[in-house]
A and B are shown apart, each in its own frame.
Chain A
Amino acid sequence: MTKNVPAIRAEHLVKTFGDLEVLSDISLEVAKGEVVCVLGPSGSGKSTLLRCLNWLSPPTSGTVWIGDEMLGMERDANGTPRPLGDARLRRQRSRIGMVFQSFNLWPHRTAIGNVMEGPMIVRGLSKNEARERAEVLLDRVGLQDKATSYPAKLSGGQQQRVAIARALAMEPEILLFDEPTSALDPELVGEVLDVMQALAEQRTTMIVVTHEIGFASEAADRIVFMDEGSIIEEGAPADFLSSPREQRSRQFLDRYLKRTSFTSFASC
Chain B
Amino acid sequence: MDLEQILKYAPLLLEGLKVTIIISTAGILLSIVTGAVLVAMQRSGIRPLAVIVRIYTEIILGIPILVLLYVIYFVLPDIGLRLSELAAGLLTLTLYYSPYMAEIMRGAIDAIPSGQLEAARSVGMSRLQAARRITVPQALGLIIPPLTGISIGLVKDSAILSIISVHEFAFETKQVVARTYAPFEFWTFAAICYWTILFVWENGMRSLERRVTRYREAR
Q: Which residues of the partner chain B approach A54 to less than 8 Å between Cβ atoms? A: 122
Report if A93-B124 is in contact (Cβ < 8 Å); known contacts: A107-B216, A108-B137, A149-B219: yes
The interface-forming segment of B43-51, B52-60, B63-71, B113-121 is B113-121
Contact indicator B119/A100 (Cβ below 8 Å) = yes
Q: How large is the interface on B (under 10, 10 to 19, 20 to 34, 35 or more residues)?
A: 20 to 34
Most buried by A among B124, B126, B215: B124
Judge whether A105 is part of the interface by a CB distance below 8 angstroms: yes
127-152 of chain B: CB within 8 A of chain A: 127, 129, 133-134, 137-138
Q: Tell me which of A21-29, A115-123, A184-192, A212-220 binds B.
A: A115-123
- In the docked arrangement, what's the CA distance between A98 and B133, Å? 19
A90 with B125: CB separation less than 8 A? yes
| Size of the chain A interface, CB-CB below 8 angstroms | 34
Question: Mostly helix, strand, loop or mixed at chain B's interface?
Answer: helix
Which residues of the partner chain B approach A106 to less than 8 Å between Cβ atoms? Answer: 116, 119-120, 134
Check A94–B123 contact: CB distance below 8 A. Answer: yes
Distance, CA A33 to CA B119, complexed state (A): 24
Nearest CB of B to A10, in Å:
17
A167→B119 CA distance, assembly (Å): 9
Could you tell me the distance between the alpha carbons of A178 and B123 in the complex, rounded to whole angstroms? 15
Smallest CB gap from B118: residue in A: A56
Q: Tell which of B116, B126, B134, B138 touches A90, judged by Cβ atoms closer than 8 Å.
A: B126
Find the residue from A87, A106, A150 having the highest chain B CB count within 10 A. Answer: A106
Residue of B nearest to A169 (CB): B123
Known: A56-B118, A100-B118, A102-B115. A108 touches B215 (CB 8 A): yes
Residue on B with the closest CB to A170? B123
User: Chain A residues with Cβ under 8 A from B126's Cβ?
Assistant: 86-87, 90
- Report the Cα distance A109→B218, complex, angstroms: 11
A12 CB to nearest B CB, Å? 24
B118 touches A118 (CB 8 A): no
User: Which residues of A (193-217) have their CB < 8 Å from a CB of B?
Assistant: none
Contact with B along A150-170 (1 / 0, CB 8 A): 101100000000010011011
Give the docked Cα–Cα distance between A170 and B218 (Å): 27
Find out whether the CB atom of B138 lies under 8 angstroms from the CB atom of A108.
Answer: yes
Q: Among the listed B122, B129, B137, which residue makes an inter-chain contact with A56, where contact means beta carbons less than 8 Å apart?
A: B122
Beta-carbon contact of A150 and B113 below 8 Å: no
Interface set of B (CB-CB < 8 Å, partner A): 113, 115-116, 118-127, 129, 133-134, 137-138, 215-219
Q: Which 4 A-B pairs have the closest CB atoms?
A: A94-B124, A118-B123, A104-B119, A104-B115
CB pairs A–B below 8 angstroms (13 shown): A93-B122, A94-B123, A98-B118, A104-B118, A105-B116, A106-B120, A107-B116, A108-B215, A109-B215, A121-B129, A150-B215, A152-B216, A169-B123
Report which A residues bind B (CB closer than 8 A). 54, 56, 86-87, 90-91, 93-94, 96-98, 100, 102, 104-110, 117-118, 121-122, 148-150, 152-153, 163, 166-167, 169-170
